[in-house]
Amino acid sequence: MLNNRFNNMMNGITLRTVSMAAVLMLAAACQSKQPENHGEVFAPDDQPTAMDHLLDAQAARGARADATLYAVHFDGPNLNPLGMYKLDLMLKDDSALPLSVWMDVPDDDSAQSRRMSVATYLKDRGIAPERVTFGHGPNPDVAHSAAQGLADLPKTDTDSGSGTAAATGAASASASAAPAGGSH
């Protein structure tokens, strides 16, 4: 009976020892394995991403293409932070100088002071005054008539080859489907 008890006790110790060894081996194996990256790792918020660079480039290109400062960009005769931001965006674009700045602001007593405020800000950024041209009103290069785009619209249809017949047919079909008399 004593021998039987001793065997049971030894079997229990052996079972516990084997179980403990298995747990320790599994824990050690899990700790040494590097986690797999499936794209779920996110960069810190203060680190720019490729998308941030793309958006910055688009904002800079848009600001340079528009190149117009409005009354909202000034506090009285002085350039405000919004105006400074727009000019900074314009300077980030890699288009060649000279820099054209259009001023769509009232032609009042502050007009010359506003122009000087912009020139001073740009000079402080390393742009010589002779490399900056000023225009009055909105930038004429960004406004255009929709007439040419509408005239070219049938050319975008590729179903029939000629484009005109298919566009005319589609236009008349949509006109006949429209409710008569404007009732809804």
Domain residue ranges in the chain: 68-136
pLDDT given for residue 182 in this prediction: 44
pLDDT given for residue 172 in this prediction: 47
Q: What pLDDT digit, counting tens, does each position of 29-64 carry?
A: 655 556 677 777 777 888 888 888 899 999 999 999
Q: Is the pTM of this model over 0.95?
A: no
Helix axis angle for 50-66 and 81-92, nearest 10°, is 100
Task: Tokens for 147, please give them.
Answer: 């007439």
Q: What is the mean pLDDT of the chain?
A: 79
Higher pLDDT residue, 143 or 66?
A: 66
pLDDT given for residue 176 in this prediction: 46
> What are 67's strand-pairing partners?
none
Q: What pLDDT digit, counting tens, does each position of 134-171 carry?
A: 999 999 888 877 888 888 888 887 665 554 444 454 44
Burial of 67 (0-12, 13-18, 19+ CB in 10 A): buried
pLDDT given for residue 181 in this prediction: 47
Indicate the helix (H) or strand (E) that contains 177: helix 164-177
Q: How far apart are CA 173 and CA 167, in angstroms?
A: 10
Contacts of 125 (CB under 8 A, 6+ apart): 87, 88, 91
Q: What pLDDT digit, counting tens, does each position of 102-141 carry?
A: 999 998 889 999 999 999 999 999 999 899 999 999 998 8
Q: Where residue 9 falls among pLDDT bands split at 50, 70, 90?
A: low
